[in-house]
Structure 1
């Protein structure tokens, strides 16, 4: 469920007409619903209420400060994968003891920043990383709390670019070697083992792969405890999917996921950490765009929008589906017709949908891409020297710009001209 609904034929974001936001900030733009963000966080929090747990929002989905602060004030921890995300989390008011640091390529600088600033745990991905973490911790006179990420070799049955739990993926340590690696970690005095980490992929629409992986983790927990290790936390990652194509997908609910976790892992008495990102932020956002032209081609018509692949890259990168709806509903009974829905960037890949059935639209009409709150703005670029688009947050009947569109001068002036070119400046 989200809070983007039609009222008297007009699309609203909570209690604000989307067209009103468009008139105020211009198109294209992202808009996020506070109520939806909170509802989705609370759904996970309540799903695990029978267990000691922490829901750590995966910031890579959407790292705007207003989004982070909204979730932090509701009690969320944060899952970060870079120094920049760590600093964003701290700037949003998240204490270090609620930040989990994931990622396969943590640098010694990133490790140092997190150890000095405070950290709940590092999810270690490899033996070399473990050795660097130990060395930095000893240098700083600290002990780094760690889990070790195990790769359970489970097929998540998701898009190959977002699968992370198979043996050929770059993530984690093969579960068959886990006892050996934990023994190595126990011998490093700068580290403190606190648990196990696992994450098998993103946009999963079936609980079976989760359960298969978690059963392997349960077995490993018993083995590691028998080896003398303290395993008090299980970081289960994220990955629960959302219904991008609402007519075809029915992903499990957080409550169903929580019941499965309780059934498979509850007997271990561990604190459970989960790291949802997409499910919290995805359906909490829209991308709103204006039709520039309607173009008739050879055997097909094109809707040319002012949003482009640099604003929302998921369709170009993943062949991802987003439902696209008019901001003003067509009259009842209006017949639909197929359009290729494209942006203005000079690449054939700048295509959002092919032969998508839509009500007839004309230049100046507004459309909204649903389920655009995750992996939209954070993956955007200034390709074709197109400025990053604004982000807007709605709270009831209020809205605010939470990231402004830069001017062209601001964008251009970030470049620096070397001295040898200054002497030959263009008139």
Structure 2
């Protein structure tokens, strides 16, 4: 990555996020190309990074959108993604969201329980429309990932088992207001093993074949997302092998493949850049304190997730330390027991693999404004979200002060 972090710090201040849009383009083309033998839709998982400019960039490449709130649906529509390329997923859609999704005419609503299907049917009846439905199937396969991002086991809250799914599809077929359109699975995020994916796809493909035998023909097979990226030294799934293993399971089915990458497309496009405030030593423990914090990048605190850290100076005097922020929590850290060089005030620190599930999970904890986001494309940079001011933070509260 040839981005001049110091130049950006001088122009936009720190902390900030910067995203390499050329990298995003290359990852999209890689995945889309892997499925070239079959009709396919790459539906970007908006939750990974919901900046409007990021979504618009992917839309310009031909991507659709996988959304888990009506807000994400509106983001996708706002930047030009066509309704027929948008899927609305999530285990807990409220009535107003379902109603709006049906009114907007998106590709399909991905339902995750028979209770939810009943609500969609009732709302569709009230609107006198037909709701296109996909059912999320939980194949009960261990995805071999972090338990917080595992979604394909019966102990997880997501999806339904095969028998329940079959009953739901029969309900759709027999309803005047439901249309069985697709099937969906997603067993987890940051997947680095191909076998669980292949096993899951085979189970769900068998369901599709069984449904076809009773005259329920589906048009879309959504394999979800979850392809892992390199944070440290992970061995990744080959994209072509991934696609080929899915297509083998779907042999004989005339069905469009949908995949929902998020982290895969944007994770390693992003860098979070923060600056050193000062160092301190408590007993034998060294701390490097920076101006970024857990409210800006939560993953290390939430998951104990690893992000590669680099101090952008030439000092060769390394020692072990904790890299921490100003927030008043012991959980406010980016790295623990990591070897970093001796730092000086205003040295920049780059935290890599920060394009996915970083800014989107940011908060205003401690009344800290959310940081700036910057796009880098064709060797040029531009602001795609300004830094929040104090006035921005209190805007929705101020008029209610008594």
Q: What does residue 228 of structure 1 align with?
A: 215
* Count of residue pairs the alignment pairs up: 402
User: For the Cα contact (< 8 Å) 2:40–2:258, is it kept in 1?
Assistant: yes
The range that moved more, 249-258 or 75-84, is 249-258
Correspondences of 1:288-307 after superposition (within 5 Å): 288-307=273-292
Q: What does residue 415 of structure 1 align with?
A: 397
* Structure 2 counterpart of 1:318, from 297, 303, 307: 303
SS in 2 for 1:267: coil
* Structure 1 counterpart of 2:255, from 247, 251, 270: 270
SS in 1 for 2:252: helix
User: For the Cα contact (< 8 Å) 1:341–1:351, is it kept in 2?
Assistant: yes
1:195 Cα deviation from its structure 2 partner: 2.1
1:79 Cα deviation from its structure 2 partner: 0.3
SS in 2 for 1:85: helix
After TM superposition, the score normalised by the length of structure 1 is 0.91
Q: What does residue 31 of structure 1 align with?
A: 18
SS in 2 for 1:151: coil
1:319 Cα deviation from its structure 2 partner: 0.6
1:244-299 alpha-carbon deviations (Å, 9 max, x no partner): 11xx2111132221121122223323110000101101001000000111112222
1:117-161 alpha-carbon deviations (Å, 9 max, x no partner): 220111111112111211222222321111111111111111111
1:81-115 alpha-carbon deviations (Å, 9 max, x no partner): 10110111111111100101110111221122122
Correspondences of 1:21-420 after superposition (within 5 Å): 21-245=8-232, 248-328=233-313, 330=314, 334-416=316-398, 418=400
User: For the Cα contact (< 8 Å) 2:114–2:164, is it kept in 1?
Assistant: no
User: For the Cα contact (< 8 Å) 1:55–1:76, is it kept in 2?
Assistant: yes
User: For the Cα contact (< 8 Å) 1:51–1:266, is it kept in 2?
Assistant: no
Which 4+ stretches in 1 moved above 4 angstroms?
Answer: none
User: For the Cα contact (< 8 Å) 1:95–1:118, is it kept in 2?
Assistant: no
What is the alpha-carbon root mean square deviation over aligned residues? Answer: 1.4
User: For the Cα contact (< 8 Å) 2:117–2:168, is it kept in 1?
Assistant: no
After TM superposition, the score normalised by the length of structure 2 is 0.97
**TM-aligned CA distance change 1:182 to 1:411, over 3 Å:** same
1:232 Cα deviation from its structure 2 partner: 2.2
Question: Which segments of 5 or more consecutive residues in structure 1 lack a partner in the other structure?
Answer: 5-11, 422-427
1:335-362 alpha-carbon deviations (Å, 9 max, x no partner): 5321111111111100111111123222
Counterparts of 1:197 and 1:404, CA distance in 2: 36
User: For the Cα contact (< 8 Å) 1:27–1:306, is it kept in 2?
Assistant: yes
SS in 1 for 2:210: helix
User: For the Cα contact (< 8 Å) 1:112–1:136, is it kept in 2?
Assistant: yes
1:300 Cα deviation from its structure 2 partner: 2.1
The range that moved more, 364-373 or 110-119, is 110-119
